[in-house]
Amino acid sequence: PPRAALLIKGTILFNIAVVAVYLVTHIFGFFITAFTFDICTIALYGLTVRSRFPFLRHTVYRCIGFISVARVFWEAENHLCAAMPGLWPLHNVWHVLSAAAAYDMVTIGYYVRLEKLGVRGVVPGDPGKALPPHLRLVARTLPPMAEIVAAAEQ
């Protein structure tokens, strides 16, 4: 669909521009702000999709909450660490929460893609063949695949 293609192209161009600006300026705060914006934008896209998956809206809010709280920890560590070196563990909290937000962002994209394109848009390969080992591992971490397939094929 044209709207989804525009989002994908816009996101790619935005990320290329962010990396280019960061490589020229070396302003890490700009990079972190862009990363936060990127996650929130993709997550909010999930709210515009009328989903059959009821947990998707909760995942969007959790994603935005994770990245927002992570950003508070990063800012606190960044601005206070010189005066209070004992605050360095806040940086670890930033990494854990921002990774959780990024995971949620990928999950949102996965389910939106599944809903829009069906199972063949998410799981590659021949329908008659068994899933490759790495996809079997992923399938075990998701809600039961039978439920996903049934919902996507409705």
The pLDDT of residue 50: 74
CA distance 5 to 41: 15
**Residue 53 located in a structural domain:** yes
Q: Do the domain assignments include residue 26? A: yes
pLDDT at 139: 57
133 belongs to a structural domain: no
In a domain, 128, yes or no: no
Q: Using 70 as the pLDDT threshold, list the residues of the chain that sit under it.
A: 1, 4, 119-154
**Based on the structure, what is the number of domains in the chain?**
1
Q: Which domain holds residue 45?
A: 2-123
10 occurs within a structural domain: yes
Residue 130 resides in a domain: no
Task: Tell me if 137 is assigned to some domain.
Answer: no
Secondary structure class of 103 (helix, strand, coil): helix
144 domain residue, yes or no: no
Q: What is this structure's pTM?
A: 0.66
Q: Model confidence over 66-103: pLDDT tens digits?
A: 989 999 998 898 888 888 888 888 889 999 999 998 88
How far is Cα 97 from Cα 103, in angstroms, rounded to an integer? 10
